[in-house]
Amino acid sequence: QQQVKQSPQSLIVQKGGISIINCAYENTAFDYFPWYQQFPGKGPALLIAIRPDVSEKKEGRFTISFNKSAKQFSLHIMDSQPGDSATYFCAASGKTSGSRLTFGEGTQLTVNP
């Protein structure tokens, strides 16, 4: 079954803190794992993505950690800022499924000033 489970559903962090969002997947055919950020009334915007041949990828304040054996991956937002307050979605896709994205349920992040 193609399913991606995301936690937590909501997260409150103080400014400057680290936000951590976790995802787990079931389909071993998935080979691409992006994270999207979505503000209310807007479409999802790609933040960062990883392939299973690396265990970590960092872009600015955003880091993806990937554990292939556990079929889990996570997003770390360092030095969280109030402007990071948004809903974050993990997703997964594989060439065998036409690269269509299967999304997690989303995490609503609030960063308090």
* Residues of this chain that bind other proteins (CB under 8 A): 6, 32, 34, 36, 41-46, 49, 89, 91, 93, 98-106
Contact partners, residue 106, CB within 8 Å, separation at least 6: 6, 9, 38, 87, 88, 89
Q: Which residue's CB is nearer to other proteins, number 98 or number 113?
A: 98
Q: Which one-letter amino acid corresponds to residue 98?
A: G
User: Could you tell me the smallest distance in angstroms from the CB atom of residue 25 to other proteins?
Assistant: 13
User: Could you tell me the smallest distance in angstroms from the CB atom of residue 40 to other proteins?
Assistant: 11
**Cβ neighbours of 110 (radius 10 Å):** 14
User: Could you tell me the smallest distance in angstroms from the CB atom of residue 34 to other proteins?
Assistant: 7
Token couple for 110 = 């609030």
